[in-house]
Chains A and B, each alone.
Chain A
Amino acid sequence: MESIIERINQHKFWQFHGGIHPPEQKSLTSDKPIKQLPLPKQLILPLQQHIGRQGDLLVKVGDKVLKGQPLTQSTNTMAVPIHAPTSGVISAIKKSVIAHPSGLSELCIFIDVDFEDTWKPRKICQNFTQLSHQEIIKKIADSGIAGMGGAGFPTHIKVNIKLDINFLIINAAECEPYITADDLLMCEQSEAIVDGIKILDQLLNPAFILIGIEDNKPRAIKALQHATKDIEKIKVCMLPTKYPTGGEKQLIKILTGKEVKSGALPIHSGIIVQNVATCFAISDAVINDIPLIRRVVTLTGRALNKPQNVWALLGTPVSYLLKQTGFSSEIETQISTPLVSNPSIASPPPVIMGGPLMGFSILNELVPIIKTSNCILAPNKTEMPSAFDGNSKEVECIRCGQCADVCPSQLLPQELQWSAKAKDHQQLTKLNLFDCIDCGACAYVCPSQIPLVEYYRIAKAEIRQQQQLDIKSEKAKERFEARKFRLEKEKIVREEKHKKAAAARKAAMSKKSADGSTASSAVAAALARVKAKKKINAKNTNEEIKNGNNLQVASNEESDEKSEVKAAIARAKAKRLAKNNEISEKTATNTEEKKQTNSIDDKKYRIALAVAKAKAKVQKENKEPLPASSDENTAIATTETDDKKARIAAAVAKAKAKAKAKKEQEMQEDLLTVSSNKENLPLKSSNEESE
């Protein structure tokens, strides 16, 4: 470590592999101060502006919010809250296009600005050294600070580390062309940045603090050197300008000579890297109690009349910022034409969020500034013709190998490109695609103009999705197997239960038979009865049908329980009907009824009659010993009376008989011919009555 510091003191640094020197274009904005903009009319705040998860909403439509008031709260360590950048009224909470290359919509809070800019009550903390570790981390977490260099990792997680830290590296390299936001911030707010560094020092207690800054920012270097001159621990390191010095692993390599292994984090080597803008946000949050509600954004490009750095409130629509800097109207009409995430449009819109190498085209003017947006680039045709020309000029790879020469991660870009085109995910993983930092150096030098980074991004997204799918299918497999196991277990339990129940039944039965009043003997008796009945039936096949009772009996013989139930219903109905007609219909004779039974060969009708008669008989027994009178009562009722009830009863009886007849088609012959069994009749009817 001492040797590292010695080298740094001698201004000797290591070198990372590759790198490029694109035209810097920083002079467009680097000499102008950061401009304060008037408030926009509306702010659009995506709930998620960082890596991780979005917080839970704290506000609803129509709420009045004050500047700095939290709009979401974090319920999860990976969630970061967002705050109202100014006072106003929440006009909507809905999906809107966000700053993402996909142009997809996500949930956003719309604030109608009231132009009063009223702060929430703040607690300014003059002496942060008295704050405890946890207090500072809570302040950082509550202020919604996420890494402002680009990735947007929640800062409170990154600084809440118990390990020994050798080096805290402040990333002030700002290596991408055009962007000067950090440069200007360092020039103007060096004291605050150093305060932020001190807070980090207090939290992490590193052995040394290295500020890595490229030598193309002399003013910022001077300002920082001035602000840190009393602090022995902090070393401002002037690095040679080269893209991508600002990459985390590249900066570590330059400053300490250490290489972070593939897949490892800098913390494993005792190093933490923080962006300089994040330091400013930390000091703002801890000292001034200002949550992360604004940031410096470089508005640049030759399509702008007044390119300049501005203090932009988070949620400011890009269109507003462009208007403020004199976006030439010719292009403005282009951008306001329906570009809403329509990939089929040939010419990509000429507004880029982020730098020219790592940024992405934005497809909608309503896209808001978020915590990680550091630059809006509106190039004109001469400086970036590729942004205007829809057709890529990609030609075949000529295997020149320049891409491998410039790759800062020492990958093999052309190999990766072929594997990416072939969708060979295994090979891509083997070639360490995930060590690619998307810096775009390979695409920059490619003589065939192959958009290599695009291919890598696609491949990365595909592999990530495949991994998600793999996890999901693994989970599905587990659940499927768990379910199978559960069902089998349930089945076994059920079977056991059935076995037990069966055993219990058996035991109960044997007990009963032992008692004497036996179930089994009853069954035997019934069987004997049935047999006897059959015998008699066989003998009396030619006998006449004397009355309906025969039929009733016959049907009873063949019928199962069901028909018995039906008969019972019919019986009940007939009974009622008989009661009604008792007095009026006493004169009818047996003969008539007999004639009917003989003349009508409709089986069903006869069955119905029989049923009705049986009922009548039962009723007769109950009421008065009038032989045959009630019998013909029913017959007449079915044929003559208009009594609705009677007809319905008959219909029901008929329907039932029909069903029965259908079911017992083979027995019909027997039904017609079978004669009465006088032995059984009283038994049956008495049984029925007892029922």
Chain B
Amino acid sequence: MNLLIAILVLGLISAFFGAILGYASIRFHVESDPIVEQIDALLPQTQCGQCGYPGCKPYAEAITNGEVINKCAPGGEDTIKKIADLLGVDVEPLDENHELDKKPTVAFIIEEDCIGCTKCIQACPVDAILGAAKQMHTIIIDECTGCDLCVAPCPVDCIEMRPIPETIQNWQWDLNKIAVKQLD
């Protein structure tokens, strides 16, 4: 009899808590950020396609499907490290097929050479080129991600990548100015 009571009581208690937990898991369900979005947020969004995918989000999707994490050249080591942290995998060096260029650039159209073919407009992943057929094109510098994709399609080679000029707004204090003396 005692045994039965014990089983009954414990059973009731577990059923009760189970019900509470079950209800809570539905009632307080948290829609967690899908992993694709999280990876996408870490990528630099240059949409350059250097990873072999047509943009940052497709690459993020590919990573969740098992693609290696070291293909993002604009993001560099930092991005790889962050993605590795997120996914709990080992940090890998940047894919040797992808060279690292740290200097941020923007595309520049030599306007007198432009023939208005609109090929670069079609290539731009972020719609940062303004122009129309047989009209001169120009780059919206604030929107350009420096992805390089417009350079190749240009039939007259009038697009070049130029480094972003240093201004007071983006100037960085130079740590090297503070000469650190090493003690013996």
Query: Which residues of A come within 8 Å of B, CB atoms?
Result: 98, 100-102, 104, 106, 343, 346, 348, 390-396, 451, 454, 457-458, 461-462, 465, 468-469, 472-477, 479-484
Q: A476, B173: Cβ atoms under 8 Å?
A: no
Pairs across A and B, CB under 8 Å, 20 listed? A100-B171, A102-B166, A343-B176, A346-B179, A392-B178, A393-B181, A394-B180, A396-B183, A461-B171, A461-B173, A472-B45, A473-B44, A475-B143, A476-B45, A476-B46, A476-B47, A477-B45, A479-B127, A480-B56, A483-B126
A638 to B126, CA, bound (A): 62
Residue contact B168 to A102, C-beta cutoff 8 Å: yes
Q: What 9 A-B pairs have minimum CB-CB distances, sorted nearest first?
A: A473-B45, A458-B173, A479-B126, A102-B171, A476-B45, A477-B45, A480-B47, A476-B145, A343-B177
Residues of B143-184 whose CB lies within 8 A of A: 143, 145, 166-168, 170-181, 183
With A and B bound together, what is the CA distance between A473 and B183 in angstroms? 42
B40 within 8 Å of A (CB atoms): yes
Q: A481 near B57 (CB under 8 angstroms)? A: yes
Q: Is the CB of A390 within 8 A of B179?
A: yes
In the assembly, what is the distance between CA of A538 and CA of B55, in Å? Answer: 60
Q: Among B40, B170, B179, point to the contact of A468 (Cβ < 8 A).
A: B170
Chain A residues with CB under 8 A of B45 = 472-474, 476-477, 480
Q: How far is the CA of A461 from the CA of B170 in the complex (A)?
A: 8
Please name all residues of chain B whose beta carbon is closer than 8 Å to the beta carbon of A481 when the two chains form the complex.
Answer: 57
Are A394 and B128 CB-contacts (below 8 A) given A458-B173, A462-B172?
Answer: no
**Min C-beta distance of A316 to chain B, whole Å:** 21
In angstroms, Cα B126 to Cα A205, docked, is 50
B173 contacts A101, CB within 8 Å? yes
Report the Cα distance A476→B125, complex, angstroms. Answer: 9
The CA of A346 and the CA of B145, in the complex, are separated in Å by 37
Chain B residues in 8 Å Cβ range of A477:
40, 45, 56-57
A114 → B minimal CB distance (Å) = 31
A475 to B141, CA, bound (A): 13
Residue of B nearest to A348 (CB): B177
Q: Interface centre among A343, A395, A480, by most B CB within 10 Å?
A: A480
Given the interface pairs A395-B183, A461-B172, the reply to whether A479 lies near B167 with Cβ below 8 Å is no
Q: Which residue of A lies closest to B40 (CB)?
A: A477
Q: 19 additional contacts, CB 8 Å, given A392-B181, A481-B57?
A: A102-B173, A104-B168, A343-B174, A343-B176, A343-B177, A390-B179, A391-B179, A393-B181, A394-B178, A454-B173, A458-B175, A465-B170, A473-B44, A476-B145, A477-B40, A480-B45, A480-B56, A482-B127, A483-B127
Which residues of chain A come closer than 8 Å to B57, judged between CB atoms? 477, 480-481
Cβ < 8 Å to A, chain B residues 53-100: 55-57
User: In the assembly, what is the distance between CA of A101 and CA of B178, in Å?
Assistant: 13
Q: How far apart are the CA atoms of A458 and B178 in the complex, in Å?
A: 11
| A558 → chain B closest CB, angstroms | 38
A122 CB to nearest chain B CB (Å)? 33
Q: Does B172 contact A392, Cβ atoms closer than 8 Å?
A: no
Classify the interface of chain B: helix, strand, loop or mixed.
loop
Give Cα distance in the complex from A479 to B47, angstroms: 10
- Smallest distance from the beta carbon of A460 to chain B beta carbons, Å? 9
Task: Name the residue among B128, B175, B177 with the largest chain A CB count within 10 angstroms.
Answer: B177
Roughly how many angstroms separate A483 CA and B167 CA in the complex, as a whole number?
31
| Distance between Cα atoms of A102 and B114 in the complex (Å) | 36
Q: How far is the CA of A479 from the CA of B170 in the complex (A)?
A: 23
**Complex Cα gap A343–B179 (Å):** 10
Q: Which residues of A contact B128 (CB under 8 A)?
A: 479
Cα distance A477–B41 when bound, in Å?
9
> Which chain A residues lie closer than 8 Å to B177 at the CB level?
343, 348
Chain B, residue nearest A474 (CB): B45
Docked CA distance A461–B177 (Å): 15
Chain A positions within 8 Å of B46 at CB level: 473, 476
Enumerate chain B residues within 8 angstroms of A476, measured Cβ to Cβ.
45-47, 126, 143, 145
| Bound complex: CA A104 to CA B171 (Å) | 9
A107: shortest Cβ distance to chain B, in Å?
11
Cβ-defined partner of B178 (8 Å) among A454, A472, A484: A454
A396 to B182, CA, bound (A): 10
A106–B168 touching, CB < 8 Å: yes
Whole-angstrom CA separation of A33 from B113 in the bound complex = 62
Complex formed: what's the CA distance from A346 to B177 in Å? 8
CA of A392 to CA of B176 in the docked complex: distance in angstroms? 11
- Shortest distance between the CB of B50 and any CB in chain A (Å): 15
Which residues of chain B have C-beta atoms less than 8 A from A465's C-beta? 170, 172
Q: Within the complex, what minimum Cβ distance (angstroms) separates A353 from chain B?
A: 15
Assembly CA distance A102 to B167 (angstroms): 9
Contact B181 A104 (CB under 8 A): no
The answer to whether A457 and B173 have CB atoms under 8 Å apart is yes
Report the Cα distance A473→B60, complex, angstroms. Answer: 15
Which of A98, A346, A348, A483: most chain B Cβ within 10 A?
A: A483
* A102 to B174 Cα, complex, angstroms: 9
Q: How far is the CA of A393 from the CA of B145 in the complex (A)?
A: 42
Residues of B within 8 A of A472 (CB): 45, 142, 145
Q: How many Å lie between the Cα of A660 and that of B168 in the bound state?
A: 68
Contacts of B142 in A (CB 8 A): 472
Q: Which residues of B contact A106 (CB under 8 A)?
A: 167-168
Partner of B181, one of A343, A391, A474: A391
> Bound state CA distance, A396 and B183, in angstroms?
9
Which chain B residue has the least Cβ–Cβ distance from A451?
Answer: B178
CB contact between A480 and one of B55, B171, B175, B178 (< 8 Å): that residue: B55
Across-interface contacts of A104 in B (CB, < 8 A)? 166-168, 171
Tell me the nearest residue of chain A to B78, going by C-beta: A423
- Cβ of A394: which chain B residues have Cβ within 8 Å of it? 178, 180-181
Alpha-carbon distance between A396 and B173 when the two chains are bound, in angstroms: 21
The minimal Cβ–Cβ distance linking B45 to chain A, given in whole angstroms, is 4
Contacts of A348 in B (CB 8 A): 177
Q: Report the minimal beta-carbon distance from A689 to chain B, rounded to whole angstroms.
A: 42
CA of A625 to CA of B171, assembled, Å: 91
CA distance A632 to B117 in the complex (A): 52
Give the CA-CA distance A395 to B184 in the complex, in Å: 11
* Residue among A98, A475, A479 having the largest count of chain B Cβ atoms under 10 Å: A479
C-alpha gap A474/B55 in the complex (Å): 13
When distances are taken between beta carbons in the complex, the residues of chain B under 8 Å from A469 are 44
A477-B45, A479-B128, A480-B56 given; A458·B170 CB < 8 A: no
Shortest Cβ gap from B165 to chain A (Å): 10
- Within the complex, what minimum Cβ distance (angstroms) separates B27 from chain A? 32
